[in-house]
Amino acid sequence: MPALNEKEAIGKVIDEIPVEELRSKGYETEIIVVDNGSTDKTAEIAAAHGAKVIDEPNRGKGRAIRTGFGAVSGDFVFMLDSDFTYPAGYITQMVELLEGGCDVVLGSRLNGSVEQGAIKRFNLVGNHLLAFLANMLYGTRVSDLCTGFWGFKVDVLRSLNLDAVGFELEANMLIEVAKHKYRVGEVPIQYRRRATASKLGSIKAGWGIANTIVKKRFIRS
């Protein structure tokens, strides 16, 4: 879980993770929060709720997630935003798809339901367009490219060449998944309205994501 000044939400997200339900299925759970330079009590609250806290002072969601991914172990790993918009209870359904043969699972807001006011209409249209662009260029069939809720088999995750710095992270992940021809599943989820202001600048972030999708398709590094 990447976190930047999420003191109001981080404890609720951690407490919602279905630890006991997963234990009943034979899985032990480690919760890792990557504190991305918070100036509030995000790190302290996360630790008090049982999370392992890793410090990544260089800001950017891509940087934070890559740092967190470097610390994971076990069978499956889940990426979850720390603002309490994604219900963590869906992890159990995502585990079932991973057990059933999927390599990667997305929690799809756009195939599920979005609480009124949770996504602005402009952003909603943009999300559909970005998913369409990625599907067209990479032959994928995902409904919600920009979701902040992903699940991976750990060996699959380790094979991905991720270099994202910021909010282009999800595009970077999907492109790598498509290159490896991994099997992708989706779980429709209910997306909640966040309590605090979003850190995502709509136009600038959307352009950066689109640029990543196109550049990595046609420009070789």
| Interval 209-218 mean pLDDT | 92
Q: Is 201's pLDDT higher than 60?
A: no
Mean pLDDT, the chain, whole residue set: 94
Residues 149, 107 contacting (CB under 8 angstroms): yes
Burial call 62-91: b when 16+ CB within 10 Å, e when fewer: bbbbbbbbeebeeebbbbbbbbbbbbbebb
What's the structural domain count of the chain? Answer: 1
Q: Is 70's pLDDT higher than 60?
A: yes
- State which H helix or E strand residue 33 sits in: strand 32-35
State the residue range of the domain holding 176: 2-218
Task: Name the band, by pLDDT with cuts 50, 70 and 90, for residue 206.
Answer: confident
Q: Which of 29, 37, 31, 40 is nearest to 12 (CA)?
A: 31
| Rounded Cα gap, residues 71 and 180, in angstroms | 22
| Interval 26-31 mean pLDDT | 97
- Which residues, listed in sequence order, are joined to residue 153 by a DSSP beta bridge? 76
DSSP 209-221: HHHHHHHHHH---
Q: Is 199's pLDDT higher than 80?
A: no
Helix, strand or coil, per DSSP, at residue 52: strand
Q: What is the CATH number of the domain that holds 199?
A: 3.90.550.10
Residues 38, 119 contacting (CB under 8 angstroms): no
pLDDT tens across 14-26, in order?
999 999 999 999 9
Q: What is the pLDDT of residue 91?
A: 98
End-to-end CA distance of the chain: 29
CB atoms within 10 A of CB 26: 7
Burial call 106-135: b when 16+ CB within 10 Å, e when fewer: bbbbbebebeeebbeeebeebbeebbebbb
Model-wide pTM > 0.85: yes
Q: What is the pLDDT of residue 171?
A: 96
pLDDT tens across 85-117, in order?
999 999 999 999 999 999 999 999 999 999 999
Q: Is 219's pLDDT higher than 80?
A: no
